[in-house]
């Protein structure tokens, strides 16, 4: 189903007007990342495409854009890293806290391009949050996609997000492989130790019939793209998201533009072939 049709199917609210949401569950992912499950009195405020974002607000602190890491029948999920005033306030919130929410924003991952292909997901740190929305979509629509392979890394075992998915849920999915690495292990870590790009080259997944989706720290993405090129992936086979550049979400503030492209209107999801046509400002 085309992305536009998916959006029309699920989006029912004006993306400029916030609705009152309520936190119904909080999962402590790492010492500085929590996942918030949010609903409204009418259930899920909208049905986002994988890779789309939403504005989340707390009065009187402020508002910011966050990726929607997954969704259930009646709720949305936001994995939020504590980095500033708003996120610190959210991390202090308890179940039952009311927040503002509006959206969705951005184009989302190109579902039609991914259908029928094997998918390689490469994530680092909190960068797995937007990619997880597509992973869970593929799992929910398993018959539409080929093999799924997740390669993920974090600074330490304590910094791994979504541990239940990485070690319990996803490895049980048919034709799905999960490989995890950390920059530095500890006395309890028996998995791989090393950076994501080197781990990727060590595993060396074939590019044949495959689409690679990556998100993480900019330095990780830089070297992952180099590794994928060495392994034979073409720019058309590589998808990433520039969601960190998303600000107002509607193309008005002018803070997300790359040349004539507005990330919030034309993205944040792009193929590397598309990015290669833009000024090298991203």
244-255 confidence digits (pLDDT tens): 777 777 777 777
The confidence score (pLDDT) of residue 3 equals 42
Average pLDDT of the chain? 91
- Alpha helices, DSSP H, located in 115-164: 128-140, 163-164
Report yes or no: 127 and 220 within 8 Å, Cβ to Cβ: yes
- Alpha helices, DSSP H, located in 52-187: 85-92, 111-114, 128-140, 163-164
Give 80-125 pLDDT, tens digit per residue: 999 999 999 999 999 999 999 999 999 999 999 999 999 999 999 9
Q: For 148-163, what is the mean pLDDT? A: 98
Q: For 253-260, what is the mean pLDDT? A: 77
Containing 200, the helix (H) or strand (E) segment is: helix 196-203
Compute how many other C-beta atoms are within 10 angstroms of the C-beta atom of residue 251: 14
Q: For 222-239, what is the mean pLDDT? A: 96
Decide if pLDDT at 4 tops 80.
no
Decide if pLDDT at 2 tops 70.
no
Decide if pLDDT at 277 tops 90.
no
Nearest to 108 by CA among 64, 46, 166: 46
Whole-number Å distance between alpha carbons of 253 and 229: 35
CB burial readout 210-221, b (16+ within 10 A) else e? bbbbbbbeeebb
Collapse the DSSP code of 273 into the 3-class scheme (helix H, G, I; strand E, B; otherwise coil) and give the result.
Answer: helix
Copy the structure tokens of residue 154: 């974090």
The confidence score (pLDDT) of residue 281 equals 66
The side-by-side arrangement of strands in the sheet containing 98-105 is 62-67, 53-58, 98-105, 19-30, 33-39, 76-81, 70-71
Q: For 127-151, what is the mean pLDDT? A: 97
The confidence score (pLDDT) of residue 282 equals 61
In whole angstroms, how far apart are CA 177 and each of 118, 146, 172, 247, 270? 11, 12, 9, 34, 25
Which has the minimum average pLDDT: 4-13, 141-150, 237-246, 247-256?
4-13
The confidence score (pLDDT) of residue 203 equals 98
The confidence score (pLDDT) of residue 13 equals 62
Q: For 157-176, what is the mean pLDDT? A: 97
């Amino acid at each position: 189903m085309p992305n536009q049709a998916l959006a029309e199917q699920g989006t029912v609210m004006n993306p400029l007007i916030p609705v009152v949401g309520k936190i119904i569950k909080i999962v402590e992912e790492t010492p500085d990342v929590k996942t918030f499950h949010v609903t409204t009195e009418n259930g899920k405020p909208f049905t986002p495409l994988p890779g789309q974002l939403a504005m989340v607000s707390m009065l009187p602190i402020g508002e910011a854009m966050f990726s929607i890491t997954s969704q259930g029948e009646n709720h949305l999920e936001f994995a939020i890293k504590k980095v500033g005033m708003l996120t610190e306030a959210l991390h202090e919130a308890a179940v039952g806290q009311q927040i503002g929410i509006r959206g969705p924003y951005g184009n989302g991952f190109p579902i039609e391009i991914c259908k029928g292909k094997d998918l390689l997901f490469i994530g680092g740190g909190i960068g797995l949050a937007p990619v997880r929305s597509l992973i869970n979509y593929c799992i929910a629509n398993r018959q539409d996609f080929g093999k799924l392979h997740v390669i993920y890394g974090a600074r330490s075992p304590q910094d791994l997000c979504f541990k239940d998915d990485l070690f319990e849920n996803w490895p049980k999915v048919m034709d799905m492989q999960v490989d995890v690495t950390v920059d530095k292990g500890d006395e309890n870590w028996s998995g791989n130790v090393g950076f994501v790009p080197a781990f990727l080259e060590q595993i060396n997944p074939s590019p044949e019939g495959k689409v690679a989706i990556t998100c993480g720290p900019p330095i990780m993405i830089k070297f992952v793209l180099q590794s994928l090129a060495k392994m034979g992936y073409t720019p058309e086979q590589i998808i990433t998201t520039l969601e960190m550049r998303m600000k107002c979400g509607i193309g008005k503030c002018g803070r997300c533009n790359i040349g004539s492209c507005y990330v919030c209107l034309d993205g944040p999801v792009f193929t590397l072939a598309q990015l290669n046509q833009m000024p090298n400002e991203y």
